[in-house]
């Protein structure tokens, strides 16, 4: 009888796993269901992380994103969920949504600490994507369970300008972002 109960229990778990909808990382939407506008007219800073690199982002990403404020980039954090068991991915998405709200609050506070008003479009410039299959990470050669966050700067037209480990390549990312923003600033001055 215990063997039969175990098999029934296993069948139920497998049935539940099959019923959970698979969400492709390339559906182009963040955890709030918004389309992520990389390559849609503004430069972007794209960070690739997982639960093991979360603290690195907390320690460095806010200040780094603040330092790029003159370029007015879109900031996207791709969170790799490949190392999260399937039954817990829904919970992980909820945690990422919560982290999104907390991150916005921290960014607003950072602006205030520097005597500036937070940009009115801050929430429309920041996206967190829960990548169930990790395909964006795999595209950069990042294996499941990686230990080093990565950063990528993408031009307003979607061209990769720089990529490297974060935060060690932050200076390189900042230079690429400044170069990405320079033509749009010159173009805006010319069209006045």
Segments forming the whole domain that contains residue 141: 24-190
According to DSSP, the β-strands at 126-131 and 150-154 are unpaired
The number of folded domains in the chain is: 1
**How does pLDDT run across 119-152, given as a tens digit for each residue?**
999 999 999 999 988 888 888 888 888 999 999 9
Do the domain assignments include residue 54?
A: yes
CB 130 within 8 A of CB 31: yes
**Residue 65 falls inside a structural domain:** yes
Is the pLDDT at 1 greater than 70? The verdict is no
Would the pTM of this model clear 0.85, i.e. be above it? no
Residue 183 lies in a domain: yes
Q: Is residue 18 part of a domain?
A: no
What whole-number distance in Å separates Cα of residue 80 and Cα of residue 144? 8
Average pLDDT of 161-173? 95
Domain-located, residue 123: yes
Tell me whether residue 12 is in a domain: no
CATH number at 142 reads: 3.40.30.10
The reply to whether 39 falls in a domain is yes
Encode pLDDT of 5-64 as tens digits.
Answer: 443 333 333 333 333 333 334 468 999 999 999 999 999 999 999 988 989 988 999 999
104 within some domain: yes
């Amino acid at each position: 009888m215990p063997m039969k109960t175990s098999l029934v229990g296993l069948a139920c778990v497998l049935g539940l796993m099959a019923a959970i909808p698979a969400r492709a990382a390339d559906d182009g939407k963040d955890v709030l269901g918004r389309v992520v506008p990389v390559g849609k007219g503004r430069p972007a800073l794209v960070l690739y992380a997982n639960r093991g690199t979360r603290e690195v982002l907390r320690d460095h990403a806010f200040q780094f994103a603040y330092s790029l404020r003159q370029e007015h980039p879109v900031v996207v954090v791709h969170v790799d969920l490949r190392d999260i068991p399937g039954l817990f991915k829904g919970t992980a998405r909820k945690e990422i949504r919560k982290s999104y709200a907390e991150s916005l609050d921290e960014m607003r506070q950072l602006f205030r600490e520097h005597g500036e008003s937070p940009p009115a479009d801050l929430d429309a410039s920041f996206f967190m994507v829960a990548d169930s299959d990790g395909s964006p990470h795999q595209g950069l050669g990042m294996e499941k369970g990686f230990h080093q966050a990565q950063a990528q700067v993408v031009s307003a037209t979607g061209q990769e300008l720089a990529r490297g480990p974060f935060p060690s390549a932050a200076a390189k990312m900042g230079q690429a972002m400044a170069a990405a923003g320079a033509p749009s600033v010159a173009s805006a001055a010319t069209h006045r």
